[in-house]
Amino acid sequence: MTVAAVAGIGETPIGRLPGTTSLGLHAAAAQSALDDAGVAWGEVDGLITCGSFVDSWPRHSMVAAEYLGVLDQLTYTATMSYGGASSAIALLHAVWAVERGDCANVLVVGADNQRTGQSREAAVATYSAFRHPRFEGPAGLTNPASYALLARRHSALYGTTPSQLATTAVVMRSWASRNPAATYRDPITVDDVLASPFIAEPLRQLECSPISDGGGAMLVRAASGADARDVRVLGHGFASLYDHVSQSAAIPRTGAAEAGRRAFAKANLTPSDVDVAMLYDSYSIAVLVQLEELGFCDIGEGGAFVESGGIEPGTGLAINTHGGLLSHGHPGAPAGIFHLTEAVRQLRGTVADGRQVPDAAIALVHAEGGIQSANVTLLLGRG
């Protein structure tokens, strides 16, 4: 049986990129991944995209393929629409398309220019429009306010403190300070986070990821068996308890626990086997929930875990070594692709600037879309 592998990765810069377009960023990221894999445009027969909040094409991947000039050579194309989980699900579909023989070279691309392509008001309205149009939206429930509901419930149930939540943002900044590509690199303290203004209580500005321009891409093809740079999906899990956060009285619990269990079972691994974890840090609270539900600490202990150095760079569990959504950047739905490209670099052992986790053999990537609504856990290893 064919085993698929990620053979190439590529990224554009991230942050504020005036003069770019959403599809132009797709092209730049794709070119970079093809160069990395040594694959020519003419060999691409699959394209999976993650949509765009700026370009609302109904068939996004087809428009992207047309723009790239490869549409007529594709045997499979799809647009994944799972918010922040889109790129992880796109990677799974790419693997399946190669392993069942439908495609030889599948490009997975996620990119958008929401920072410069939309006003702040339009961007906030875009995210708010994802709320239930009748039972959430008219209340004025925003994206950060929805995560704030998780955070406040977490604090009420487990005694999680503001400084414990803030610690996750401090750790992301610490990693970002070692990544020249990251948007925000000046180190911050817990006091800095707690001095930043409230967005939606208890979440403050430095606990909420920014809106960025940028994108990434991966080239998936059959594992060669000889290329030490190949990275494979060893196990995956999807699980969800709700789509709209107001449909659950069980918050802050999410589908992450079951997604993680399924991925670990398929890969025959446990949390203690993970060398580096990429968690979807859209907000500080998301990191605590995922640390707990993925089994890196007990349920309710996420705050104490991070406060006692559990994710301290260099000594604790290495998470989001690129700086995460909070400090590296967050270009909308495609944002999770940078978790995947950094995971691949970690497994190749090629991360620069003192961020390489020694002998990283197993990486976990958790992606979530909505308000921790769609949960996808991937376990990655060398090909």
Partner 1 sequence: MSDSADDLADPEVGPYLDGLKSGLWRLPLCSTCGRHFFYPRSLCPHCQSFDWTWDEPLVEAGTVVSSTTIHRGLAPHFPALLHLALIEVIADVVVVGRLDTDLPPGARVEPVWDGLNDGIPAFVGGDRP
Which residues would be at the binding site for partner 1 (CB under 8 A)?
124-125, 128, 132, 134-142, 144-145, 148-150, 152-153, 156-157, 197-202, 245-249, 251
Q: Which helix (H) or strand (E) holds 26?
A: helix 22-37
- Give the integer Cα–Cα distance in Å for 218 and 58: 23
8 A C-beta contact, residue 135 and residue 246 = yes
How far is residue 112 from each of residues 49, 205, 209, measured CA to CA in Å? Answer: 11, 22, 15
Q: How far is the CB of 120 from partner 1 (least distance, A)?
A: 10
Nearer to partner 1, 24 or 137 (CB): 137
Q: How far is the CB of 173 from partner 1 (least distance, A)?
A: 21
Q: How far is the CB of 285 from partner 1 (least distance, A)?
A: 11
Q: How far is the CB of 140 from partner 1 (least distance, A)?
A: 4
Nearer to partner 1, 125 or 228 (CB): 125
- Give the integer Cα–Cα distance in Å for 248 and 268: 31
Q: How far is the CB of 159 from partner 1 (least distance, A)?
A: 12
Ranges of H-type helices in 228-375: 256-267, 284-293, 302-307, 337-348
- Give the integer Cα–Cα distance in Å for 271 and 264: 8
Nearer to partner 1, 124 or 361 (CB): 124
> Which single residue is written with the structure tokens 């940078």?
338
Provide the b/e sequence for 146-155 (b: ≥16 CB within 10 Å). Answer: bbbbbbbbbb
> Which single residue is written with the structure tokens 């699900």?
89
Q: How far is the CB of 147 from partner 1 (least distance, A)?
A: 9
Q: How far is the CB of 254 from partner 1 (least distance, A)?
A: 14
Query: Residue 124: how many CA atoms within 13 Å on its side-chain side?
Result: 10
Q: How far is the CB of 47 from partner 1 (least distance, A)?
A: 35
Closest CA to 266 of 294, 235, 226, 245: 235
Is the previous residue joined to 202 through a cis bond, with omega within 30 degrees of 0? yes
How far is the first Cα of the chain from the last one, in angstroms, to the nearest whole number? 14
Nearer to partner 1, 154 or 366 (CB): 154
Q: Which helix (H) or strand (E) holds 7?
A: strand 4-11
Provide the b/e sequence for 89-124 (b: ≥16 CB within 10 Å). Answer: bbbbbbbbbbbeeebbbbbbbbbbbbbbbbeeeebe
- Give the integer Cα–Cα distance in Å for 103 and 96: 9
- Give the integer Cα–Cα distance in Å for 72 and 361: 38
| Backbone dihedral angles phi then psi of residue 5, each to the nearest 5 degrees | -145, 155
Nearer to partner 1, 110 or 252 (CB): 252
Q: How far is the CB of 149 from partner 1 (least distance, A)?
A: 4
Q: How far is the CB of 195 from partner 1 (least distance, A)?
A: 14
